[in-house]
Amino acid sequence: MTDRRGAIKVVALFAAAVTGVVGVSACGSDAGDQEQDSKAPLEIWVRKPPGSPTEQTAKALAAKFTESSGIPTTVTALFEDFETKLQQAAAQKQLPDIVINDTGQLGTLVKQGLVREVDRPEIAGEKDLTPVAWDAAKAADGKHYAVPFSAQSFALFIRKDWREKLGLPVPTSWADLDTLATAFTTKDPDGNGKADTYGYAVPASTKRGYTAWYFSSFLWSGGGDFLTGAPGAFTPAIASPDSVAAVDWFKAQFCTAKTVAPGAVTMETTQAHPVFETGKAGIYFTGPYNMARFDNNLGKDKYEVVPAPPGPGGKAASLAEGENVYLMAGSDNQAGQEKFAEFAVSVEGQTLGMAGDTAGNIVRLPVNAQVKLGDVRTDPRWQTFDEIYRTAGRYAPAVPDWTPFRQSAAETINGIVANCDSDTGRELEKLAETFAAELTKQGVKA
């Protein structure tokens, strides 16, 4: 990679070792700050494993864009320590032009000044993108700093063979779900004569905030919330009666019903996947990216994908995630950045990114409402996820940096379910105080 951005004012501030924090700010979001060349090559980073089918799809997408636009592209696939490598690139004045990465990184990238604002009305085809998808590109200040590219929701993966053997229906309420989880735990659904099965596989580790990440859909479905209010003016809602009730329901699965597979409180997703696919648990709330894996390792005929039922709040909710196209600050081809984003979210770009029913998809659910999912994929389970996303999808609150909220929530909720003598209300009151302090720190407390 050549240093063609010498004029970019990118400053890396490395804090003292005791803090372990790297702060980066980048200027040059206006074309006047950097000499522009509308035919300059675009360097594109994607958060995908090198050598994977997803990398090949990303390269095919970029190649098609080059063919149609005449703008050369280079795709670099990175996965491990992606964010660290991006920080290093910023410090070396070597930011790529485009980054395709998680929607959850928006706040951090904006805070660090690594991305430039997107003028939504100027993006060709922007009205074809779903409103909920655009929410994933909006920062705490109400402005857009990315173009939505891919979406995903979450659903229940249930051992269909176990459920049918026990004569139980697909759950349509939390009570049904509890009944099913209890039966999977106590009625020997695999028929081996041993008490070695459980209801739920739960990645409840505090690492990267997994507990809160997993539980958020259930918190919202139960009528609870992390925060209430609007961007720029939030107040904590985590200690509300509905939030406490939802956490108590979650705790009961660990402590009363004992329907959660052992080891959950230290389990990340990489450890939770095998719990489901090897027959240790029969219910797993996860994303569409696991279907190919479970089809291969467990068998497509042995499980079903269904929407999680509404909770006491009366409405089902699913954490919505996905990826954005980030237009990085300081590019000398801002017109090319926008053209790539427009192509990526076009019907052609979205169709290429979906990669049919293969494991190479970099677009899980299309954000372009003009794309007919059924015309691209024959597997009807994708329609289930698409319907969940469009009717129940919900992104994390639009605060400047969601990470500290997610992490503190994970640590508190993990502590509650790990200690059956814990006082849920008291612990959530403490968490609410932590949230209030963080809202004040980020300047968005009502």
pLDDT surpasses 60 at 13? no
Closest CA to 109 of 125, 119, 98: 98
In a domain, 446, yes or no: no
pLDDT of residue 80: 87
- Inter-axis angle of helices 424-441 and 241-255, nearest 10: 130
Q: 3-class DSSP state for residue 307? A: coil
Give 18's pLDDT tier (boundaries 50, 70, 90). very low
* 34-59: average pLDDT: 95
pLDDT surpasses 60 at 20? no
Range of lowest pLDDT (25-34, 88-97, 353-362):
25-34
- Enter the pTM of the model: 0.85
In a domain, 4, yes or no: no
pLDDT surpasses 80 at 32? no
In a domain, 2, yes or no: no
Give 23's pLDDT tier (boundaries 50, 70, 90). very low
Distance CA 182, CA 37 (A): 63
Range of lowest pLDDT (48-62, 274-288, 390-404):
390-404
On whether both 362 and 313 belong to a single domain, the answer is no
In a domain, 26, yes or no: yes
Closest CA to 152 of 352, 359, 323, 372: 323
* 115-136: average pLDDT: 94
On whether both 194 and 343 belong to a single domain, the answer is no
Residue 341 CA from chain centroid, whole number: 20
Q: 3-class DSSP state for residue 36? A: coil
Tell me the two tokens of residue 233.
């003016």
Of the residues 394, 414, 433, which one is the last residue of a structural domain? 394
Give 33's pLDDT tier (boundaries 50, 70, 90). low
Give 445's pLDDT tier (boundaries 50, 70, 90). very high
pLDDT of residue 154: 97
pLDDT digits (tens, 9 = 90+) for 412-439: 999 999 999 999 999 999 999 999 999 9
Rg of the chain over Cα atoms, rounded to whole angstroms, equals 23
Distance CA 299, CA 237 (A): 41
On whether both 148 and 166 belong to a single domain, the answer is no
- Of the spans 2-11, 27-36, 361-370, which averages the highest pLDDT? 361-370
pLDDT of residue 55: 97
Structural domain of 115: 10-153+322-394
In a domain, 363, yes or no: yes
**Number of H-type helices and E-type strands within the chain:** 16, 16
On whether both 161 and 36 belong to a single domain, the answer is no
Closest CA to 156 of 135, 178, 133: 178
On whether both 286 and 356 belong to a single domain, the answer is no
pLDDT surpasses 70 at 15? no
pLDDT surpasses 80 at 9? no
On whether both 141 and 159 belong to a single domain, the answer is no
pLDDT above 70 as % of the chain: 93
On whether both 95 and 243 belong to a single domain, the answer is no
Distance CA 9, CA 264 (A): 46
Which residues have CB under 8 Å from 349's CB, separation 6+? 61, 64, 65, 343
Residue 255's domain is classified under what CATH number? 3.40.190.10
Distance CA 146, CA 15 (A): 28
- Amino acid letter for position 6: G
Q: 3-class DSSP state for residue 100? A: strand
Give 365's pLDDT tier (boundaries 50, 70, 90). very high
The chain-wide mean pLDDT, for the chain, equals: 91
pLDDT surpasses 60 at 31? no
pLDDT surpasses 70 at 120? yes
Say which DSSP state 20 is in.
T
- Amino acid letter for position 324: N
The torsion region of residue 191 among left (phi > 0), alpha (psi -120 to 50) and beta comes to left
Q: 3-class DSSP state for residue 17? A: coil
Number of folded domains in the chain?
Answer: 2
On whether both 133 and 122 belong to a single domain, the answer is yes
CB atoms within 10 A of CB 59: 17
Of the residues 357, 373, 394, which one is the last residue of a structural domain? 394
CA–CA distances in Å: residue 357 to residues 291, 323, 383: 10, 19, 12
Say which DSSP state 201 is in.
E
> Is the sign of the CA dihedral 297, 300, 301, 302 positive or negative?
positive
Say which DSSP state 202 is in.
-
Distance CA 68, CA 348 (A): 11
Per-position DSSP letters for 190-203, written without gaps between them:
T-SSSS--EEEE--
In a domain, 253, yes or no: yes
* 368-388: average pLDDT: 93
pLDDT surpasses 50 at 6? no
Closest CA to 154 of 317, 323, 370: 317
pLDDT surpasses 60 at 73? yes
On whether both 437 and 296 belong to a single domain, the answer is yes
Of the residues 362, 379, 394, which one is the last residue of a structural domain? 394
pLDDT digits (tens, 9 = 90+) for 174-200: 999 999 999 999 999 999 999 999 999
CA atoms within 13 Å, Cβ hemisphere of 82:
17
CB atoms within 10 A of CB 142: 10
Burial class (CB within 10 angstroms; exposed 0-12, middle 13-18, buried 19+) of 253: buried
Q: Are strands 393-394 and 318-319 parallel, antiparallel or unpaired?
A: parallel
Q: Do 33 and 121 meet the contact criterion of CB atoms below 8 Å apart? A: no
* 366-371: average pLDDT: 95
**324 vs 83, residue with greater confidence:** 324
Closest CA to 373 of 322, 363, 61: 363
Range of lowest pLDDT (21-35, 144-158, 312-326):
21-35
On whether both 32 and 110 belong to a single domain, the answer is yes
In a domain, 5, yes or no: no
In a domain, 1, yes or no: no
Closest CA to 42 of 352, 381, 344, 403: 344
Max distance between CA atoms of the chain, in angstroms, equals 73
pLDDT of residue 164: 98
* 96-112: average pLDDT: 93
* 325-347: average pLDDT: 97
Per-position DSSP letters for 363-408, written without gaps between them:
-SEESBTT--HHHH---THHHHHHHHHHHHEEPPP--S--HHHHHH
On whether both 192 and 182 belong to a single domain, the answer is yes
On whether both 251 and 371 belong to a single domain, the answer is no
pLDDT of residue 344: 98
The torsion region of residue 223 among left (phi > 0), alpha (psi -120 to 50) and beta comes to left
Range of lowest pLDDT (3-12, 139-148, 302-311):
3-12
Give 205's pLDDT tier (boundaries 50, 70, 90). very high
Range of lowest pLDDT (18-22, 96-100, 330-334, 355-359):
18-22
